Structure 1
């Protein structure tokens, strides 16, 4: 085995081969990942799988995809359940995610984490389970105002007891309303804390562009909650309203009487609703404080998806584990998705980036030749990919 140590080991048998899976240590880091060795018997010998890591999600809203286990659904579809790094209150702080997992014609195991924190088709979908629904993020950088603000803060840690903390000053708009920039920034490590946990608290978001809204995700944050063990009776109670003009509102989610504990509530609508304004109305949530890290709105915008990226270059560094990327900005793009792999038709890994048109990567194998492509995305869709680049 390679230098270092293994943890979170598990075994999957598929098509007569045994996949010994393990987690790469580093729970708190965005590059936390799972890899595998492959053998002909459950006791080995095992050979390092050349497309490792097979479960890897370093970019986007939530990162990690390590320390997991692979399971087979009754219909034959494989799923990898992994832990995603949050690392705000503690470097052990994590959330769970599931990603569709496949075996290619060479017997290489891989997990599709691309747009993995966007809405995906459910496991019961007959043909598209785990694939991206096509619903894009409508709320990114939306203008958010709040009822009150005890604090707004960015907080992260890689070692317990040592924190990187930035507290944002209180800002108000021209109408005297309190502004919150942390609720639409696509970071689970930044959050808003209301002055009270009651039914007088609210959040209103004016999205940059209107769209057809298909789903919401409310990400509550643990901020001095006073809950330190498993507790019965936790419940998140709230309503969500939508408006086209910010004046006339329609309730589209009513959980005011809910008994469900939903700290990362995903709320798909039965029918899409046209809107530009979103309003969260609190009733009560578990713990001492109402704290939210992100309100994410998914759907389809009414504009054009971005054009194809131009000028994409990859420069592998003297330390061959590293590579730098540059490309020309695409008008109207929210961000970019870099894809790569060990063959032009095996671009199994991806790194989603917002706003920037350059990137630096430190996660390649020294002796492996890679292939890269990139695409742009916004609230209206995803561009065509660039031609694949070979990098030796």
Structure 2
């Protein structure tokens, strides 16, 4: 099986008023010397190239996020660091247990029997006792899966891990059918057992969402660098990809929007025509993109 690359922010939490969040995406120049960037599904699993590759052809695996804002249960909760903050796709929130003890856990319900291909574990810092990089720290955990929330099987055992994995990515050799995924703490390098993102990837085995309707782009006259994008919400979608470009066949910019049906875009050159299209996303895939709309 080909290796996979999850293209992730290197910092996935908010603990200060100034932090860097870096993303790396394939980029290049097309045959017309127009620069492109493949940012669609930018922090979902992608195939890792093993040789020269045409990055205009996406390496996205097609594995969708299965547990966005789905029900979560936990062993304990510290203050207002609520359980659902581990599945809300916000870099500013996280869940924390009351302790960093072995046996603390977090469990996510996918809402139905799904095909699970990969899990990403993003830790958060809560009551850390040291700052900076050290070579003698490590995380240890176990991942479990279940079809009914009663009988559990090991998905991945990292109880003997000796490396620092604050943002760990586990790709399964063979996908499994599961409804529940549980992360059990074995060892924390410091502080409480805290998770900023427990992300489960695969396929929900349901119908893909319907296409977006009533997509409009209203470019302001006062400042043509900005536009208000709005569309009718798709009932079975949890997110949308907005594609943007300066030519109708070169929509090289992509913005993913969660849980809303509007967006204020401020990235245009005031003297250029821009082109837009949008697609809906759910646990089973994506809709057809809307017809490309030109905005002068």
TM norm. shorter chain > 0.5: yes
The 1:211/1:231 distance shift into structure 2, 3 A limit, reads: same
Which deviates the most, 291-300 or 327-336? 327-336
> Shift in Å at residue 360 of structure 1?
1.4
Contact 2:115/2:176 (<8 A) preserved: yes
> Among 320, 332, 342, which residue is 2:224 paired with?
320
Contact 1:142/1:207 (<8 A) preserved: yes
Runs of 4 or more consecutive aligned structure 1 residues displaced over 4 Å after TM superposition: 81-87, 125-130
The 1:298/1:287 distance shift into structure 2, 3 A limit, reads: same
Contact 2:99/2:193 (<8 A) preserved: yes
CA displacement, residues 59-108 of structure 1 (integer Å, 9 cap, x when unaligned): xxxxxxxxxxxxxxxxxxxxxx9976756112442344321122111212
Alignment partner of 1:348 is 2:274:
no
Partner residue of 1:146? 74
Which protein has greater RCO, CA pairs closer than 8 Å, 6+ apart? 2
For these two proteins, the number of residue pairs brought into alignment is: 287
Query: How does 1:371-382 map onto structure 2 within 5 Å?
Result: 371-382=275-286
Name the SS for the 2:25 alignment partner. strand
> Among 71, 75, 89, which residue is 1:186 paired with?
89
> Shift in Å at residue 239 of structure 1?
0.4
> Shift in Å at residue 367 of structure 1?
1.3
Distance in 2 between residues matched to 1:312 and 1:359, nearest whole Å = 11
Distance in 1 between residues matched to 2:80 and 2:173, nearest whole Å = 33
Larger radius of gyration: 1
Structure 2 gap ranges (5+): 1-6
Distance in 2 between residues matched to 1:193 and 1:87, nearest whole Å = 12
> Among 167, 175, 182, which residue is 1:279 paired with?
182
Pairwise CA RMSD of aligned residues? Answer: 2.0
> Shift in Å at residue 126 of structure 1?
7.3
Structure 1 gap ranges (5+): 1-80, 154-167, 169-179
Name the SS for the 1:182 alignment partner. helix
> Among 225, 230, 243, which residue is 2:128 paired with?
225
Query: How does 1:203-214 map onto structure 2 within 5 Å?
Result: 203-214=106-117
- More strand per residue: 1 or 2? 1
Q: Normalization by structure 1: what TM-score?
A: 0.69
CA displacement, residues 136-188 of structure 1 (integer Å, 9 cap, x when unaligned): 010111111111112334xxxxxxxxxxxxxx6xxxxxxxxxxx221111112
Q: Normalization by structure 2: what TM-score?
A: 0.91
